[in-house]
Structure 1
C-alpha cells in the first residue's frame, strides 16, 4: 500500500499482558479506535512502542498482526532502531516480509555517529529496500541531528521521502520547505508543537496522545487542513495539558495511563519500566481526569 506521509500517524503503544506477553486483544481494540477515528497510518515500534524492550519475534508478530488489522485501509510503518548497518538492513528486510508498507528510521543506536556515518547508514538501508522511508530527526533524545546538508545528500535516495521533525525548533519546518520544496514530506513529531508545525506547512503529525484520544487528534488535523483554524485551536488548547504528558521521560507510562481512562489500553509496561506510583501517578491522573471531564464536543470532521 502506498504511503502518502500526510495526515495523522499514531505512534502506537505496544500492549502487554500482566504475564509479559503481547496483549493482542487490547492492541486490536486500540487499532480499531484509531481506524474509526480516521487516522492515516500506523507506526509500530517507536519510543512509545517500547521498541528497545521488544524481542525480535515480537516485532515480527506486531507487524504481521497490525497488517491484518489494517486490512489495507491505512499503511503500516515499522520503526528501525538498530545498532549496526547490518542489523538495520536485516530489520528492514523482515519488516517488508511481515507486511510493513514503510519504514521510520532512527540514526544508529548507542554509537554517536558523525554526519558522514549517519548519512551512509541511512543510504545503505534505503538502497537495500524499495520500502518508502521517513527519517526520524530527534537530536534532543537521540543526540544526532540530521541537518539540512545531510538531507541534501539523502535526497539522492528516492525512497527517503519524509522526516519526522522532532528537533523542537519550529522554524525547521520553514527551513526544510524553503530548501527542498516538496521533496520531503514533513510530519511533526512533537505533540506540543503539532498544530504550530501544521500551520507552518507540515504535512502530517506523528502523534502520541492520539493513542488515548484518536478522534480529537484527527479532528485537529482535519479542521486546520480545511482552513477551520479557530475550531482546531479551540480543541488544541483543551488538549495541551494532555499533550505535555508526551514530552516527559515517562511518556510511555503517562500515555498508557491515559489509554486506561479512555478504555482503549492498559497501563502494563515491560520492565525495567514500571507503572507510575505515588505523587507522580496522582499528578498524571489529575491531568487526565481534567481532560476527560472536559472533553470537547467535536464537529463532524471525517468528511473534511
Structure 2
C-alpha cells in the first residue's frame, strides 16, 4: 500500500447555481491535486457532502474522478451508510464506476455494538474485491471503532487502512505492533495531523490539502526526513487556515476554493453558505497565505478571485 501515504485530499462536491453537480469544476479540483503530486484523492465522503448525494450522483462523481485521473492517482470512493445494505449498494456502484478503493465509515446514529461493526464491515468486504479503508470519526458517529475491533478487522488483507478522526495522536503508538505491517494509519484531523505522523502515522486524509497541497506535501516530507523543526514551522503557517476551515466544514472550504477561482461556494441543505462575517474571516486568512503555497490549476492559472480577497 505504498500509495496510501502522505496528505490525501478529501474533495468537496461542487454544485452549480441550480444545485446540480458541477462536473467541470470537479474535474479542475481533481487536476489541481494531481498536478500537486498526490497519490490518491477521496471523493463522495465527509467533505463531499455525501449524505446529500443520491446514489446516482455518488456514482457520477466517482466516475468523473476516475475519468479525470486516468490512472495517474488512485480514486478512493466514500461509500458509507448507517444501513449495511445501503453501504453495500454504494460500494457496488463505486466499483462499477471504476474506483480503486473504498472508504467506509462507522455506522452513524444507530450506535451499533462493536460486534455489529465487525459484521457490518465484513458484509461490505464480502460485496467487493476492492481494498477498504475504515473511517473512525466518533464526533459524527457517537460510537468509536475500538482498537480491538480494528485489530480484528485488519487480520483480513482486504482492510488496508484507517482514516482516524478520533484526534487520538497516540493511537499509532498503541496499534502499530498489533497491526499487519502494510496496514496504513492516516489522521482524519488536520489540526493534529503532524503529531499523528510523529507518533507513527502514515499520512492524513485532509481538508486543508484542497487549498495548500504543496505545503501539506512539504510537511509530510519534512516529517519523513526527521526534520521536525521544519515540519512544525510549515504546520504553523497552515494553522490559521486549518482553524478557519474547521469552523464550518465544508462551507468554509467551498468559499475558500471560490476565492481561488475553482468553484461556486454553493452547498446543499442542511449546510448553508457562510455568513458575511465568516466569509470575511476566510478571505482574510486566504489573503495572508503566500501565492506559492496556494492551490493552483495544472496550468498555473488563476481567476481573479484571489485579488478580491486581498483588496
Is 1:60 aligned to residue 59 of structure 2? yes
1:182 positional shift:
2.3
Q: Secondary structure at the match of 2:205?
A: strand
Ranges in structure 2 where 5+ consecutive residues have no aligned partner: 295-311
Query: Deviation string for 1:152-194 (max 9, x for gaps)?
Result: 2212322011001111111112111133262521011100111
Alignment of 1:134-283 (within 5 A): 134-180=133-179, 182-248=181-247, 250-283=248-281
Aligned residues: 294
**Structure-1 separation of matches of 2:183 and 2:264:** 36
SS at match of 2:193: helix
| 1:19 maps to 2:21 | no
Q: Name stretches of at least 5 consecutive residues in structure 1 with no aligned partner.
A: 297-304
Q: CA 1:264 to 1:219, structure 2 compared with 1: closer, same or farther past 3 Å?
A: farther
Q: Distance in 2 between matches of 1:76 and 1:3?
A: 14
Deviation at 1:230, TM superposition (A): 2.9
Is contact 2:108-2:142 (8 Å) kept?
Answer: no
Deviation at 1:103, TM superposition (A): 0.5
User: Runs of 4+ in structure 1 displaced over 4 angstroms?
Assistant: 292-296
- Cα offset for 1:138? 0.9
In 1, Cα distance between equivalents of 2:201 and 2:18: 41
TM-score (norm 1): 0.91
Structure 1: distance between partners of 2:80 and 2:136:
12
CA pair 137-120 structure 1, distance change in 2 beyond 3 A: same
Once the two structures are TM-superposed, the CA of residue 292 in structure 1 deviates from its matched residue by: 5.0
**Aligned partners of 1:80 and 1:105 also within 8 Å:** yes
Match of 1:99 in 2: 98
Offset at 1:82? 1.3
Task: Tell whether the 8 Å contact from 2:154 to 2:180 is kept in structure 1 after alignment.
Answer: no
CA contact (8 A) 2:136 2:162 kept: yes
Deviates more, 1:226-235 or 1:96-105: 226-235
Q: Residue 302 of structure 1 aligns with which residue?
A: none
| Cα gap change, 1:3 to 1:227, in 2 (>3 Å) | closer
- Distance in 1 (alpha carbons) for counterparts of 2:180 and 2:160: 12
* Contact 1:88 1:125 (C-alpha < 8 Å) held by counterparts: yes
Q: 1:3 to 1:287 in 2, by over 3 A?
A: same
Q: CA deviation at 1:83?
A: 2.7
Deviations 1:203-223 (A, max 9, x none): 111010111222212222223
Q: Give the equivalent residue in structure 1 for 2:302.
A: none
